[in-house]
């Protein structure tokens, strides 16, 4: 299924406002078998902005599409200049209370799985295991010619060597790790090819307009079928790649609970939307369940 570049939507009228009571979330987690679906909103407390919330990056930034990236040398130079600069900040982000709470719920056997729309790796850094990265991860790159995967840190080193002194001041860093730079700041940035075949390198993430790999989608659908409830954390559900799982759960009669400060495209399918910050809400839920949330991060 092609991921459509939907950038905005209009909230439905007549839906109840969000609640400030996380008790339904605590009850669902206490029963176990909860599948988590997380979005960019869970990482905002780690300093990574979301797309559509207050001050979201889409107000100033249009994400690169797969078609633009593959169709233009200029677009790839622009992307890699911005992404290389953004990576310096992005890869230093640390898990926040929301990520740590999800990891704690998993350690205590309350979750059936975690699907994340994020590419930042913060769930894993907090200690969550078997996380399905729906849109891939920025910590690796793939060659579009030979298919070889390699670590992002290796490409970062090569780009540093090829662009000595490249240090423009960005206006901000976006949820996809793309820093805000002007064309003048990008300048004649040099893009590194695949070290094995000389082909075009792309971050191992799903761009807008690109397909989420069908086996990954089916794996997520299977997780939804097996879950006792679906807990959406910090996602507006604007794009179909996440919304389809909410719709699937609702059709099957599986309760959908959402924690997101703003209305979402999935609200009409949910039994509740808790309109609280993720860290606050999930820490409160953990306290109610007697689940300790520590500051452990991955080595």
First to last CA, the chain: 36
Give the number of other Cβ atoms within 10 Å of residue 31's Cβ.
12
Is there a binding annotation on residue 278?
yes
- Could you report the per-residue pLDDT of 153-181, keeping only the tens digit for each? 999 999 999 999 998 887 777 777 788 88
Is there a binding annotation on residue 118?
yes
Q: Of 48-52, 226-230, 257-261, which range is least confident?
A: 48-52
CA neighbor of 47 nearest in space, from 117, 83, 6, 98 = 98
Per-residue pLDDT, 59: 44
Per-residue pLDDT, 178: 81
Per-residue pLDDT, 89: 80
Catalytic positions: 135
Is there a binding annotation on residue 156?
no
Is there a binding annotation on residue 57?
yes
What is the pTM for the complete model shown?
A: 0.89
Q: Which CATH homologous superfamily contains domain 19-48+95-135+211-299?
A: TPP-binding domain (3.40.50.1220)
- Could you report the per-residue pLDDT of 100-143, keeping only the tens digit for each? 999 999 999 999 999 999 999 999 999 999 999 999 999 999 99
Per-residue pLDDT, 51: 56
Q: Which residues contact 164 (CB under 8 A, 6 or more apart)?
A: none
59-92+138-205 has which CATH code?
Answer: 3.30.1600
Per-residue pLDDT, 297: 41
Give percent above pLDDT 70 in the chain: 91
As a whole number, mean pLDDT of residues 85-89 equals 87
As a whole number, mean pLDDT of residues 271-299 equals 86
Per-residue pLDDT, 298: 38
Residue extents of the structural domains in the chain: 19-48+95-135+211-299, 59-92+138-205
Give the number of other Cβ atoms within 10 Å of residue 142's Cβ.
19
Strands 229-233 and 34-38: parallel
Cα 126 from Cα 199, distance rounded (Å): 34
Is there a binding annotation on residue 218?
no
Per-residue pLDDT, 182: 85
- Could you report the per-residue pLDDT of 198-236, keeping only the tens digit for each? 999 999 999 988 989 999 999 999 999 999 999 999 999
């Amino acid at each position: 299924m092609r991921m459509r570049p939907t950038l905005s939507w209009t909230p439905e009228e007549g839906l109840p406002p969000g609640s400030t009571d996380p008790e339904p979330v605590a009850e669902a987690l206490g029963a176990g078998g909860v599948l988590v679906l997380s979005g960019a909103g869970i990482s905002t407390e780690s300093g990574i902005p979301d797309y559509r919330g207050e001050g979201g990056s889409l107000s100033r930034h249009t994400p690169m599409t797969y078609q633009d990236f593959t169709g233009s040398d200029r677009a790839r130079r622009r992307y890699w200049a911005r992404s290389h600069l953004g990576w310096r900040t992005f890869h230093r982000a640390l898990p926040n209370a929301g990520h740590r709470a999800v990891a704690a719920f998993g350690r205590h056997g309350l979750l059936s799985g975690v699907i994340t729309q994020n590419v930042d790796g913060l769930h894993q850094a907090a200690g969550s295991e078997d996380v399905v990265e729906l849109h891939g991860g920025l910590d690796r790159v793939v060659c579009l010619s030979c298919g070889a995967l390699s670590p992002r840190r290796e490409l970062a080193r090569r780009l540093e060597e090829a662009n000595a002194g490249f240090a423009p001041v960005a206006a901000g860093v976006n949820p996809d790790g793309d820093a805000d730079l002007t064309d003048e700041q990008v300048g004649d940035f040099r893009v590194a090819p695949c070290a094995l075949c000389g082909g075009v390198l792309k971050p191992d993430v799903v761009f807008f307009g690109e397909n989420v790999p069908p086996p990954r989608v089916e794996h997520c659908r299977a997780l939804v079928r097996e879950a006792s409830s679906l807990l959406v954390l910090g996602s507006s559900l604007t794009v179909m790649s996440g919304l389809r799982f909410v719709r699937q759960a609702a059709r099957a009669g599986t309760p959908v609970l959402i924690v997101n400060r703003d209305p979402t495209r999935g609200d009409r399918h949910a039994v509740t939307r808790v309109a609280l910050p993720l860290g606050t809400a999930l820490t409160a839920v953990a306290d109610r369940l007697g689940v300790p949330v520590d500051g452990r991060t991955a080595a």
